[in-house]
């Protein structure tokens, strides 16, 4: 906490020194979303280069002055929370003054900018993300308040804890215990619930299932990373055979451009693409009528993914993306129900896991 306080004090000191010299104060931020500031390392994923290009948030420019003020406001809130050892979610911060902030996305963006500017993980700023992910299967752990959580109880679903990893802070989950043979990341809640209903976590072999319910929040990504670090078991992904599903899988494996400054704590380089593969659609003779044409937006997203640096290291992934681009068709995991209602849990996943049908 002293490191966080000192980092904020240094920022404020720079502001005061500028004012003393009768100069307009500025805040200097790395350009988080600029691909030129990102390098790809196979062992980490997408990470920010040490000497990246920056932008200035000026206090004397009409376009950036409001953001400058909001950044100082949130810095002061963080400072008070760290001093008093209290915590707030991003949502709490937004609702503390909705008129001032205008929208939740403004708050989210500023918090990420502050974390990047101070080079301090967001959890150490005493800001918790609201969790939307679920976890189930062969796993038990103790939360920081002493609550014991046992996900192994049948078809029970637990929300991903909001205190997964306490880097430089007291927040943590501990006493993790599991006999799972693998971790299965499921893109969508509906598929996750269906697999639970089919007792998938215990029928084939003990496993841990996680869903971020679409694009994963920070806590879900942290949990997947913590489970991988702790148990060193295979991590598979089950996604729709569409550009959006591939994008989500890449976030778990390689990270995202906007959070590349925290890649070391968030990415799981060993993630494998289990399904649904574009090549599976032909192999399983899925009826053409059950497939969905790619929209223009889908095609643009697919073309953008194909150009990313990590795709060159994954020739099998590249081939699958080429199949999708050539067919101009996509499919949801639910398309397997056209073969039989329980095809996913009874045939598709057991065969893939047994015979090595992943990339």
Domains in the chain, number:
2
Q: Which of 5-9, 34-38, 282-286 has the lowest mean pLDDT?
A: 34-38
CA distance 341 to 296: 31
Supply φ then ψ for residue 270, to 5 degrees.
Answer: -85, 0
* 162 inside domain: yes
HSE of 320 in the Cβ direction (CA atoms, 13 Å)? 25
pLDDT band with cut points at 50, 70 and 90 for residue 9: very high
Owning domain of residue 165: 134-355
The pLDDT tens digits for 63-91 are: 889 999 999 999 999 999 989 888 888 88
* 15 inside domain: yes
Residues 12 and 109 in one domain: yes
End position of a domain, from candidates 77, 106, 128: 128
Q: What is the DSSP string of 284-321?
A: TT--GGGSEEPPHHHHHHHHHHHTSGGGGG-HHHHHHH
* 196 inside domain: yes
Supply φ then ψ for residue 123, to 5 degrees.
Answer: -65, -30
Residues 88 and 187 in one domain: no
Q: Which pLDDT score, from 0 to 100, does residue 247 have?
A: 92
CA distance 122 to 100: 22
**pLDDT higher than threshold 70 for residue 168:** no
Q: Which pLDDT score, from 0 to 100, does residue 166 have?
A: 47
Residues 94 and 154 in one domain: no
CATH assignment of the domain containing 117: 1.10.10.10
* 34 inside domain: no
Is 95 noted as a catalytic residue in this protein? yes
Residues 226 and 101 in one domain: no
**pLDDT higher than threshold 50 for residue 266:** yes
| Mean pLDDT confidence for 10-26 | 91
CATH assignment of the domain containing 260: 3.40.1360.10
C-beta separation of 129 from 89 below 8 A: yes
Residues 169 and 191 in one domain: yes
Residues 122 and 163 in one domain: no
Residue found under tokens 């502050």: 114
Q: Which pLDDT score, from 0 to 100, does residue 167 have?
A: 41
Residues 97 and 193 in one domain: no
End position of a domain, from candidates 128, 148, 174: 128
Mean pLDDT of the chain: 85
* 42 inside domain: no
* 214 inside domain: yes
Residues 264 and 283 in one domain: yes
Residues 110 and 189 in one domain: no
* 54 inside domain: no
Which of 221-225, 243-247, 265-269 has the largest mean confidence?
243-247
**Residue whose C-alpha is closest to residue 125's, from 170, 78, 167:** 78
| Mean pLDDT confidence for 42-48 | 78
Q: Which pLDDT score, from 0 to 100, does residue 296 have?
A: 93
* 230 inside domain: yes
End position of a domain, from candidates 128, 160, 178: 128
| Mean pLDDT confidence for 212-230 | 88
Residues 91 and 187 in one domain: no
Residues 94 and 159 in one domain: no
| Mean pLDDT confidence for 98-124 | 87
Instruction: Catalytic residue, from 79, 94, 95, 254: name it.
Output: 95
Residues 111 and 200 in one domain: no
């Amino acid at each position: 906490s002293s490191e966080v306080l000192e980092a904020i004090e240094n920022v404020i000191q720079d502001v005061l020194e500028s004012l003393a010299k009768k100069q307009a104060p500025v805040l200097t931020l790395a350009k988080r979303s600029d691909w030129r500031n990102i390098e790809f390392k196979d062992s980490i994923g997408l990470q920010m280069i040490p000497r990246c290009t920056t932008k200035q948030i000026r206090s004397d420019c009409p376009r950036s002055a409001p953001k400058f003020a909001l950044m100082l406001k949130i810095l002061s809130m963080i400072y008070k929370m760290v001093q008093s050892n209290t915590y707030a979610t991003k949502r709490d911060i937004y609702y503390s003054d909705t008129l001032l902030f205008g929208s939740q996305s403004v708050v989210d963006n500023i918090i990420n900018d502050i974390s990047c500017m101070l080079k301090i993980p967001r959890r150490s700023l005493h800001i918790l993300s609201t969790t939307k992910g679920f976890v189930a299967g062969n796993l038990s752990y103790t939360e920081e308040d002493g609550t014991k959580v046992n996900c192994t109880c049948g078809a029970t679903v637990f929300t991903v804890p909001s205190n997964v990893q306490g880097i430089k802070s007291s927040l943590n989950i501990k006493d993790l215990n599991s006999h799972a043979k693998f971790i299965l990341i499921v893109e969508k809640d509906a598929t996750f619930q269906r697999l639970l209903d089919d007792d998938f976590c215990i029928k084939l072999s003990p496993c841990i299932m996680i869903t971020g319910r679409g694009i994963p929040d920070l806590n879900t990504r942290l949990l997947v990373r913590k489970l991988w670090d702790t148990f060193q078991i295979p991590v598979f992904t089950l996604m729709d055979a569409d550009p959006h599903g591939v994008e989500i899988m890449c976030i778990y494996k390689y990270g995202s451009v906007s959070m590349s400054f925290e890649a070391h704590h968030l990415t799981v380089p060993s993630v494998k693409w289990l399904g649904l593969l574009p090549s599976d659609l032909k192999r399983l003779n899925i009826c053409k009528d059950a497939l969905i044409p790619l929209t223009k937006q889908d095609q643009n997203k697919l073309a953008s993914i194909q150009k990313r640096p990590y795709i060159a290291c994954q020739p099998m992934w590249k081939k699958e993306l080429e199949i999708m681009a050539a067919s101009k068709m996509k499919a949801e995991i639910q398309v397997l129900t056209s073969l039989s209602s329980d095809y996913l849990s009874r045939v598709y996943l057991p065969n893939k896991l047994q015979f090595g049908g992943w990339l």
